[in-house]
Amino acid sequence: MDFFDIHTHNNKPVKNVFSIVNKYPTATNFTNPFSIGIHPWFINKNKIDEEFLIIEEKIQHKNCLAIGECGLDKLTETDFELQQKVFRQHILLSEKYKKPLLIHCVKSHQEVIEFKKELQPTQPWVLHGFNKNIHIAESLLKNKLILSFGAAIINTIKLEEVVSKTPISSIFLETDTAEVKIQAVYQKLAGIKNIEVIALQKEIKNNFTKIFKR
């Protein structure tokens, strides 16, 4: 595969792209590489135990590459204390099954860092769809999180500074729910880094092999 899209909601295979499709416990199709978890928007306190049983079963599927997306979001109506409890359960599953964690984070970066300091996980944590400032990025990188960038880097000038200062060894790329091709995200990042796309492909592939052990 020439390109890696580590977080997408598009179930259709794309030529020359290795995609990790985001799945919820209610999903039925697991024929493609996937991650699975409870998004903080969709936490139902009456179904948490049931959904974690499903997640733990699907984690053992050969196509499951990561846990998530899961995480913390202060803009959603879901009780934040409940979000933290559910996030902790995902972290423990990530450690138990030795799978990377894909994290959704909105206005909760410090809390994510505090979880990492407290639990000292051995598995990689990838913060998906990063679009914040350089100070938040540096704090996350200092605590050994990996940043995944999506379509926002194409149109958001403030992200160029963040991307330019983030080592490629700490970067993944994704499409998430955007109507954009992963190739366009690669093209933009290559331009910011002033390298050829083919060189970037090699770097991201190395990251993928290291983190997802594929």
Model confidence pLDDT, tens digit, residues 140-153: 999 999 999 999 99
pLDDT value at 45 more than 90: yes
The pLDDT > 90 percentage for the chain reads 93
Round to whole Å and give the CA distance between 181 and 165.
24
pLDDT score, position 90: 98
Round to whole Å and give the CA distance between 182 and 4.
8
The H-assigned helical ranges of the chain are 48-59, 80-97, 109-119, 134-142, 152-155, 157-165, 182-193, 197-212
pLDDT score, position 194: 96
pLDDT score, position 75: 96
The enclosing H or E element of 3 equals: strand 3-8
Residue 11's pLDDT band (cuts 50, 70, 90): confident
Joined tokens for residue 171: 């970067």
pLDDT digits (tens, 9 = 90+) for 96-127: 999 999 999 999 999 999 999 999 999 999 99
- Least confident segment among 26-30, 148-152, 162-166: 26-30
Q: Which residues contact 74 (CB under 8 A, 6 or more apart)?
A: 80, 106, 107, 108
Range of the domain at 49: 3-212
pLDDT digits (tens, 9 = 90+) for 171-192: 999 999 999 999 999 999 999 9
Give the residue among 86, 88, 167, 175 at the shortest CA–CA distance from 128.
Answer: 175
CATH number of the domain where residue 202 is located:
3.20.20.140
Round to whole Å and give the CA distance between 13 and 106.
29
pLDDT value at 166 more than 80: yes
Domain count within the chain: 1
pLDDT score, position 69: 96
pLDDT score, position 160: 92
Round to whole Å and give the CA distance between 70 and 115.
13
Round to whole Å and give the CA distance between 191 and 160.
10
Residues 54-73 have a mean pLDDT of 96
- Residue 147 has phi, psi (to 5 degrees) of -105, 130
Residues 17-29 have a mean pLDDT of 94
pTM: 0.95
pLDDT score, position 66: 98
**What DSSP designation does 77 have?**
S
- Average pLDDT of every residue of the chain: 96
pLDDT score, position 55: 97
